[in-house]
Structure 1
């Protein structure tokens, strides 16, 4: 049940996130559906390839595809005066998708008895892979590469699950809430990881 809940929550959140980005870029309805589907399922497809799950497993998620289509259609049909307020919620839905799919990916890898490194990679790819593909298709710098902390929260989720610190349904739901909250704080208060800037030589 926990697995299914995170799958559904992540699918809805990322489908809506992809649809919002598509409408911000003024894509037509086909573009909205394509970007939403890629966002919702792209990370899981990449994860499956890397941890040894047949890519055909993606097509066995018929119910999730239907849920994604309903979510995207609902957002697309929203009145313009309400939709302009929804657009600013794009980061929030992305935070929900990141948390839900990072946990789902870690649980998936743990269930296959993969090592800790694979669990962390599965968490990161499932949580951020779809968003990376979405942003690249939309001509944007991927969120995972921006200044605010993003993928680090997926890594934390993967480690907590890999070491068994978060394993019961209650612990996983609390972890989900914590990741969403931390991600929201990240972009609200501009939390950043250390970085260095190397200036290039200027030609005379």
Structure 2
């Protein structure tokens, strides 16, 4: 299940990065850089948070190959990556958010970290790559926009961190739930409460 979530999240976030790069009219190298950063940035941030060496990312040679092939196909056939259910490639980003937030929580739980670390790992693994992607592309990061984004990572952080969800089928169900909730939050423009600054 760990490897399955890794592959799903890597491909989804790599395509999300490609989609942004194509919209910004980057060249082939820009596409690869933005795609790789989106796919692997969240894992790097998570490792820094929980005290693991970032160098462990370089042991994922197979995932780098998968991401490279996905980005190459998307660059050669851009209509494939531009097919999205909602604006600005949100479909691929939602899949990456779901898969990587569950994977991050599962990773922290598997090495015996407490609930707070599982929640943080879910949030950072799920949003870290997209955050770096948006900053490099000169865009407002998705997790700062009005639609609910990072809050959905609380679902896997809590249910995995408390040990409520352990089997493969249950983990996939949590991924699907996060994806659906993220898509719904954009489509129906759900947002968290906010306060306007007091007028003087």
Instruction: After superposition, give the CA deviation of every residue in 1:157-183 in whole Å (9 maximum; x if it has no partner).
Output: 101101112111111111111111111
Partner-residue secondary structure (3-state), 1:192: coil
2:99 counterpart of 1:103: no
How do residues 125-164 of structure 1 correspond to structure 2 at under 5 angstroms?
125-164=124-163
How do residues 85-124 of structure 1 correspond to structure 2 at under 5 angstroms?
85=83, 88=87, 90-124=89-123
2:17–2:34: 8 Å Cα contact kept in structure 1?
Answer: yes
Residues 56 and 156 of structure 1: CA distance in aligned 2, closer, same or farther (over 3 Å): same
Q: Structure 2: how far apart are the matches of 1:78 and 1:88?
A: 19
Residues 192 and 63 of structure 1: CA distance in aligned 2, closer, same or farther (over 3 Å): same
- Most deviating of 164-173 and 143-152: 164-173
What is the Cα deviation at residue 21 of structure 1? Answer: 0.1
2:20–2:88: 8 Å Cα contact kept in structure 1?
Answer: no
Q: Structure 1: how far apart are the matches of 2:158 and 2:40?
A: 23
Residues 110 and 84 of structure 1: CA distance in aligned 2, closer, same or farther (over 3 Å): closer
2:21–2:137: 8 Å Cα contact kept in structure 1?
Answer: yes
What is the Cα deviation at residue 122 of structure 1? Answer: 0.3
Instruction: After superposition, give the CA deviation of every residue in 1:127-161 in whole Å (9 maximum; x if it has no partner).
Output: 00000000000000100000000111111210110
What is the Cα deviation at residue 25 of structure 1? Answer: 0.5
Q: Structure 2: how far apart are the matches of 1:71 and 1:97?
A: 14
What is the Cα deviation at residue 85 of structure 1? Answer: 3.9
What is the Cα deviation at residue 83 of structure 1? Answer: 5.8
Identify unmatched segments of 5+ residues in structure 1: none
CA root-mean-square deviation: 1.6
Instruction: After superposition, give the CA deviation of every residue in 1:45-101 in whole Å (9 maximum; x if it has no partner).
Output: 010011011111010000000000011111100156x66545947100000000000
Q: Structure 2: how far apart are the matches of 1:79 and 1:131?
A: 20
Q: Structure 2: how far apart are the matches of 1:84 and 1:110?
A: 35
Q: Structure 1: how far apart are the matches of 2:42 and 2:87?
A: 23
Q: Structure 1: how far apart are the matches of 2:41 and 2:25?
A: 21
Which residue of 2 is the match for residue 49 of structure 1? 48
Which residue of 1 is the match for residue 12 of structure 2? 13
TM-score when normalising by structure 1? 0.93
What is the Cα deviation at residue 10 of structure 1? Answer: 0.1
Q: Structure 2: how far apart are the matches of 1:51 and 1:187?
A: 31
